[in-house]
Homo-oligomer: A and B are copies of this chain.
Amino acid sequence: MTEIDTEAFLADLYALREIGRFRTGVHRPTFSAADMESRRWLMAKLEECGLEASIDGIGNVLGRHRGPGPHLLVGSHIETQNEAGWLDGALGVVAGLALARAGLPVDVVAFADEEGHFSGGFLGSRSAIGALTEAEIDAARNRTDGTPLRAALETAGLAGLPRMRLDPARYRGFLELHIEQGTQLESAGLHLGVVSGIVAIWQFQIVFAGNQDHAGGTTMAERRDAGLSAVRLLAAIDREFPKVCGPRSTWTTGRITLDPGGYSIIPGRAEVAFQFRDVSIPVLERMEACLEALVRESNRRERCPATLTTLSKAIPAPCDPDLMRALSEAAEQVCPGRWQVMPSGAGHDAQNIARILPAAMLFVPSIGGISHHWAEDTSDADLAFGVRALGAAAARVLVG
């Protein structure tokens, strides 16, 4: 069994946590000063481990193994959500570094903007498989401050650099170690999760058009209250979705905006940010049909017409069976009986890489399931289980 230096691995993780530190988490939005510092830190570390480090025109950092193949690609992303956790993304990158340090013939990658600070999201992994156009780069803007992506690339010193394309012939596959971002493992007292597939997210905007009116002068019978129509639709979704969903489907209303938003003003417009997720296309299609039917019913019954706009419909990414088998055997070796197979409810770079390479993922538990928040954490012991199992799986794949 390949020996992973878990001490060095944890030391790397702790060192990376100091770049853009925010409380016990980090704040490294894509192409910020802290994000670029972390990318330079990574390049130095990759060289230290004997890899040939480079950064490309969209911010992807690649550490290329200098010896002969077969090779595996290992990694994740390195930027974070705003004021978020220290492990999301960073864990998978630093685990790749640990495998390289152990002498495994791996390339290590940190894809840019998995977190979607720029419209579109997954910039790096989409670019690396040839699914990001120059026109999309021209149009993309930062969701927080509106900065054009081109300007951000210029400031980061990346403008004009070529964009790397992954060569499928070079790799037996892609492995990504990640935190679970849920409590399935923790609740079951397990230490590792072999991911069966990555859910697809289908995302919608629902806008209700009402009449902005004085909350005292307008009787209940006269009103066209856009907020109330929105509440009724959301209550109907809460009632109907459990009848059509799959066992691990999720649906979320992340935002409700009532315009103009005053106590004494009947909302003239309501906007709802809604999404659902599943690993199965038939289940996704059933949920979409249900949503469409509920919007139609709302439009028959309510005074405020609702408009449903589809923002994105991704395709679920099942993980590669051979890589899953290697991860399962490695998990059993490292944590006998304390692992399970499970879907990933969150999107990951692996779902894009899966379009050109066999890809698979391994999860470690998230304490309390906290994610996308600075309090996100995982025990050192579970982090070590994760990197050891990843190393053992990589060794199996590369030897096999």
Contacts and interface: CB of A to CB of B under 8 A. Distances in A.
A60 B258 CA distance: 34
Contacts of A183: 218, 222
Interface stretch (A96-104, A105-113, A227-235): A227-235
A266 B252 contact: yes
Contact of A182 (B184, B222, B253, B346): B222
Interface string A24-54: 0000000000000000000000000000000
B265 A372 contact: yes
A260 to B, nearest CB: 8
**Number of copies of chain A assembled together:** 2
Given A222-B182, A231-B238, A234-B231, A215 B254 contact: yes
B263 A180 contact: no
B181 A217 contact: yes
A250 interface: yes
A173 interface: no
A370 to B, nearest CB: 7
Which has the most chain B C-beta neighbours within 10 Å: A199, A225, A255? A255
Contacts of A238: 228, 231-232
A263 B267 contact: no
Interface in A288-338: none
A52 to B, nearest CB: 35
Contacts of A245: 220
Contacts of A372: 212-214, 262, 264-265
A228 to B, nearest CB: 6
A286 interface: no
Nearest to A255: B261
Given A227-B253, A231-B234, A258-B255, A182 B266 contact: no
A216 B231 contact: no
B253 A216 contact: no
A244 to B, nearest CB: 13
B275 A264 contact: yes
A216 B250 CA distance: 7
A264 B81 CA distance: 11
A159 interface: no
B222 A201 contact: no
A234 to B, nearest CB: 4
A30 B120 CA distance: 43
A133 interface: no
Interface string A199-224: 10101000000001111111110100
A213 B371 contact: yes
A373 interface: yes
B181 A214 contact: yes
Contact of A213 (B212, B253, B267, B370): B370
A216 B346 contact: yes
A273 interface: yes
Given A231-B238, A253-B227, A258-B253, A217 B267 contact: no
12 contacts: A214-B345, A215-B254, A215-B345, A218-B345, A218-B369, A225-B252, A228-B234, A231-B231, A252-B263, A254-B258, A254-B261, A255-B258
Given A216-B345, A216-B346, 5 more contacts: A180-B217, A182-B217, A252-B266, A261-B273, A264-B346
Closest 7 CB pairs of A and B: A181-B217, A182-B217, A216-B345, A216-B346, A214-B371, A235-B235, A215-B252
